[in-house]
Chain A
Amino acid sequence: MHRLPVRQLIALSGIACLEVIRQPITLLLMVTCTVLTILNPMLVIYPFGEVGKLPRDSALAFQLGFGLLVAAYGACTTLSREVESGTASAVLSKPVSRENFFFSKFLGMVAVIVIYSLCSILATQLNQMISHELRDHALLALLPLTPVAGLLAAAVINYTTRRPFVTVAFASVLVCLALTTGALAYGMHGGFQWRIVPANVLITFALIVLAAIAITLSTRLRTAPTIMICSAVLVLGLVSDFLFGRFTDENWWGTIPYMLLPNWQHFWVTDGLTGGGSVPWTYVLNAGGYAVLYAAGVLAIGTLCFRWTDVQ
Chain B
Amino acid sequence: MTESASTTRPVVVAHDLHKTFKDFWRRPKVHALKGVDLEVQPGEIFGLLGPNGAGKSTLIKLLLGLLRPSSGDIRIFDQSPSDVRSKERIGYLPEETTLYRYLTARETLSFYARLFDLDAAARRERVDQLIEMIGLARAETRVVGEYSKGMGRRIGLAQALLNDPELLILDEPTSGLDPAGRRQIKDLIQALARRGRTVVLSSHLLADVEDICDRIAILFSGRVYALGRTRDLLEAEHRTRITFPEVTEEAMRTVLAAIQTASGVEPDVDRPTVPLEHFFLDVIESAQQSERDPTGATSGGELAPFLDRGSDHDPDP
Contacts and interface: CB of A to CB of B under 8 A. Distances in A.
Consider the complex of A and B and state whether they touch directly, i.e. have CB atoms less than 8 Å apart: yes
Contacts of B23: 162
A165 B24 CA distance: 10
A159 B23 CA distance: 10
Contacts of A158: 24
B279 interface: no
A113 B300 CA distance: 55
Contacts of A165: 24
A159 B25 CA distance: 7
Contacts of B25: 159
A135 B77 CA distance: 71
Interface string A144-175: 00000000000000110010010000000000
A162 B25 CA distance: 10
Contacts of B24: 158, 165
A172 B25 CA distance: 19
A28 to B, nearest CB: 15
Interface in B1-47: 23-25
A158 B23 CA distance: 10
Contacts, number: 4
A229 to B, nearest CB: 21
Contacts of A162: 23
A247 B144 CA distance: 49
Nearest to B23: A162
Contacts of A159: 25
A96 to B, nearest CB: 25
A169 to B, nearest CB: 12
B154 to A, nearest CB: 20
A279 B24 CA distance: 46
Interface in B182-209: none
A158 B29 CA distance: 13
B274 to A, nearest CB: 36
A187 B25 CA distance: 40
B99 to A, nearest CB: 15
Nearest to B25: A159
A155 to B, nearest CB: 9
Nearest to A158: B24
Interface in A22-74: none
B305 to A, nearest CB: 37
A52 B90 CA distance: 66
A159 B27 CA distance: 10
A159 B24 CA distance: 9
A110 to B, nearest CB: 31
A158 B25 CA distance: 9
A17 to B, nearest CB: 24
A58 to B, nearest CB: 33
A10 B25 CA distance: 35
A165 B23 CA distance: 11
Nearest to B29: A162
Nearest to A165: B24
B211 to A, nearest CB: 31
A257 to B, nearest CB: 33
B13 to A, nearest CB: 36
A89 to B, nearest CB: 14
A59 B23 CA distance: 36
A56 B25 CA distance: 38
Interface string B130-142: 0000000000000
A224 to B, nearest CB: 14
A20 B250 CA distance: 76
Interface in A165-193: 165
A206 B24 CA distance: 37
A153 to B, nearest CB: 15
Interface in A73-111: none
Interface in B117-148: none
B39 to A, nearest CB: 38
Interface string B99-111: 0000000000000
A163 to B, nearest CB: 12
Interface of B: 23-25
4 contacts: A158-B24, A159-B25, A162-B23, A165-B24
Give the top 3 A-B pairs by smallest Cβ distance, nearest first: A159-B25, A165-B24, A158-B24
